[in-house]
Amino acid sequence: MLNSVFPKIHKEGYRFLAIAVIITFVCLLFSKVLGLITILLTIWVYYFFRDPDRVSIQDNNFLVSPADGLISNISEVSGPAELSLENKKFTKVSIFMNVFNCHVNRTPVSANVEEILYKPGKFLNASLDKSSEENERNYYRLKTNEGEDIIIVQIAGLIARRIVCEVNQTQSLNQGDRIGMIRFGSRVDIYFNNRKLLAKLGQNVVAGESLIAAK
């Protein structure tokens, strides 16, 4: 019960929370109104970096959402050229995370990390489709035991300036494991093929739990 109200926070948030607390104490010395504003800001920082436990289905017949947020786009596309998959067709589901969503990202399926590729770039609004080609981003190519390619792309947004990767190439992951986070507003794309889409455009999804597709 207590963990649902005060969830643990991601280690990336320690520094930001400490800064917010110090600023709050200083502001309270000079103004109650200003102090109240900074208290609310501190609460927001705490909840932004929250890292709650999630329970995944643990069934590779299903893909779970890699991120919390709103499904902003569903399309049939070629695979990322950055991973030499441009000649392969995929379904791409884009999940937009606003500043109130939990920003910890998770693996949608149990798989091995075959490739990780970081690409520097711009910081356009992450809800724009062109951000997947122009923004700072990090690619994860996951390979299941059945040889299936699942691609995850973390895309930095208008405010986000830091993509955090917490896994290594060749690492074995279980469905729902944490793979990293993106600080502040951003987007995560998932690419897959030969699966039935379960999610819908405009749906709010929960990382590690909401079902995106099935075999």
pLDDT tens digits, 82-99 = 999 999 999 999 999 988
The pLDDT of residue 201 is above 60: yes
Say which DSSP state 2 is in: H
Question: Quick one: which of 79, 148, 64, 65 has its CA closest to 111?
Answer: 148
Average pLDDT, the chain: 88
Q: Give me the catalytic one of 72, 94, 186, 210.
A: 186
52 falls in which pLDDT band (50, 70, 90)? confident
Q: What is the pLDDT of residue 44?
A: 82
The CA distance from 98 to 166, in Å, is: 21
Q: Crossing angle of helices 14-30/32-48, nearest 10°?
A: 170
Residue 101 CA, distance from chain mean position: 9
The CA distance from 113 to 49, in Å, is: 25
Percent share of the chain, pLDDT over 90: 57
The pLDDT of residue 21 is above 60: yes
Give 62-214's CATH code, choosing from 3.30.420.480, 2.60.40.10, 2.70.70.10, 2.40.128.20.
Answer: 2.70.70.10
Dig out the tokens for 97 from the structure. 């995370």
Catalytic residue flag (residue 75) = no
Q: What is the pLDDT of residue 127?
A: 58
Q: What is the pLDDT of residue 31?
A: 87
Say which DSSP state 197 is in: E
Residue 155 host element (H or E): strand 149-156
45 falls in which pLDDT band (50, 70, 90)? confident
Say which DSSP state 128 is in: S
Domain range annotation of the chain = 2-48, 62-214
Dig out the tokens for 35 from the structure. 């102090």
Q: CB neighbours (10 Å) of residue 65? A: 28
pTM: 0.85
Q: What is the pLDDT of residue 111?
A: 97
CA distances for 202 relative to 3, 85, 91, 95, 113, angstroms: 29, 27, 16, 9, 29
Residue 137 host element (H or E): strand 137-143
Q: Are 65 and 209 in contact (CB under 8 A)?
A: yes
Task: Give all strands of the β-sheet with 62-64 in edge-to-edge order.
Answer: 62-64, 211-214, 196-197
The CA distance from 17 to 9, in Å, is: 10
The CA distance from 37 to 48, in Å, is: 16
